[in-house]
Chains A and B, each alone.
Chain A
Amino acid sequence: MDFGPYLMLATLEGAVLAAVLALMASGLSLVFGVMRVVNVAHGEFYMLGAVLAWWVTSMVGGGPAVAFVAALIVVPVIVGALAAAADMTVLKRLEYDPERTIVATIGLLYILQQVTLMTYGADARPVVPPFNTRLALPWLEWSDGGLHMFWPWGLSTTTYKLFVIVAGIVILSAVWAMMRHSRIGLLMRATQLDSEMAQAFGIPVERVYALVFGIGAGLAALAGVLIVPIQQAHYLMGGDALLLSFIVVIIGGLGSLAGTIVAALLIGLSDGIISVFFSPTLAKIIATLLVAFVLVFRPQGLFGTRDR
Chain B
Amino acid sequence: MTETQKILVLHVGLIALLFALNFILPAYHHGNLARVMVLATYAIGYNVMLGYTGLLSLGHAMFFAAGMYGMALSIRHLGFAPAPALLVGIASGAGLALVVGLLALRTAGVAFMIVTLMFAQTVYLTILLAGRWTRGDEGFVIQQHERVLWGIDLSDPSSRYLAALTLFAICLFATLNLIRRPLGRVFVAIRENEERARLLGYNVFRAKLFSVVISGTISAAAGASYGLLFGYAGATFATVQYSIFPLLWVLLGGTGTIIGPFLGALFMFYLIDLSSGVTNAYMLIAGVALVVLVMFAPQGIAGELRRRIWSWLP
Contact = CB atoms under 8 A, between A and B. Distances in A.
B125 A104 contact: no
A245 B312 CA distance: 45
Interface string A82-102: 000000001001100011101
Contacts of B114: 38, 246, 250, 291, 295
Interface residues on B, range: 35 or more
A96 to B, nearest CB: 12
B287 A107 contact: yes
A133 interface: no
A147 to B, nearest CB: 44
A100 B126 contact: no
Contacts of B309: none
Contacts of A112: 287
A293 B106 CA distance: 11
A103 interface: yes
Interface in A34-64: 38
A189 interface: no
Interface string B125-151: 110110000000000000000000000
Interface string B273-286: 00000011111101
A113 B283 contact: yes
Nearest to A38: B110
A292 interface: yes
B287 A110 contact: yes
B294 interface: yes
A288 interface: yes
B295 interface: yes
Contacts of B128: 281
A285 B244 CA distance: 21
Interface stretch (B81-89, B115-123, B211-219, B258-266): B115-123
B8 interface: no
Main secondary structure of the interface of A (DSSP, over half): helix
Interface stretch (A16-24, A114-122, A219-227): A114-122
Interface string B91-127: 0000000000001101101110111001101100110
Contact of B118 (A38, A103, A279, A292): A292
Contact of B283 (A102, A114, A282): A114
B102 to A, nearest CB: 10
- Judged by DSSP, the binding face of B is helix
Nearest to B239: A239
A282 B107 CA distance: 25
A114 B281 contact: yes
Range for the number of chain A residues in contact with chain B:
35 or more
A281 to B, nearest CB: 5
Contacts of A117: 280-281
A293 B110 CA distance: 15
Nearest to A113: B283
B97 to A, nearest CB: 15
Contact of A292 (B115, B129, B279): B115
Contact of B291 (A108, A118, A243, A281): A108
Nearest to B108: A299
Contacts of A243: 121
A159 B107 CA distance: 45
B190 interface: no
Nearest to A107: B290
A112 B281 CA distance: 11
Contacts of A109: 287
A110 B289 CA distance: 10
B31 interface: no
A292 B291 contact: no
Give the one of A104, A282, A297 with max B CB within 10 A. Answer: A104
B287 A102 contact: no
Nearest to A290: B118
B163 interface: no
A99 B287 contact: no
Contacts of A104: 290-291, 294-295
Contact of A103 (B106, B247, B279): B247
Given A99-B110, A291-B118, A94 B284 contact: no
A103 B115 CA distance: 16
Given A103-B247, A103-B294, A296-B104, A114 B284 contact: yes
Nearest to B109: A98
A104 B292 CA distance: 8
Contact of A289 (B110, B118, B290): B118
A284 interface: yes
B56 interface: yes
Interface string A267-308: 000000000000101101100110111011101000000000
5 contacts: A111-B288, A117-B280, A118-B279, A293-B103, A296-B104
Given A93-B295, A94-B294, A99-B56, 19 more contacts: A90-B291, A98-B109, A98-B110, A99-B113, A104-B295, A107-B289, A107-B290, A111-B287, A111-B291, A113-B283, A114-B282, A114-B287, A115-B281, A284-B121, A292-B104, A292-B119, A295-B111, A296-B103, A296-B106
Interface of B: 56, 58, 103-104, 106-107, 109-111, 113-115, 118-119, 121-122, 125-126, 128-129, 240, 244, 247, 251, 279-284, 286-292, 294-295, 298
Interface of A: 38, 90, 93-94, 98-100, 102-104, 106-115, 117-118, 239, 243, 246, 250, 279, 281-282, 284-285, 288-289, 291-293, 295-297, 299
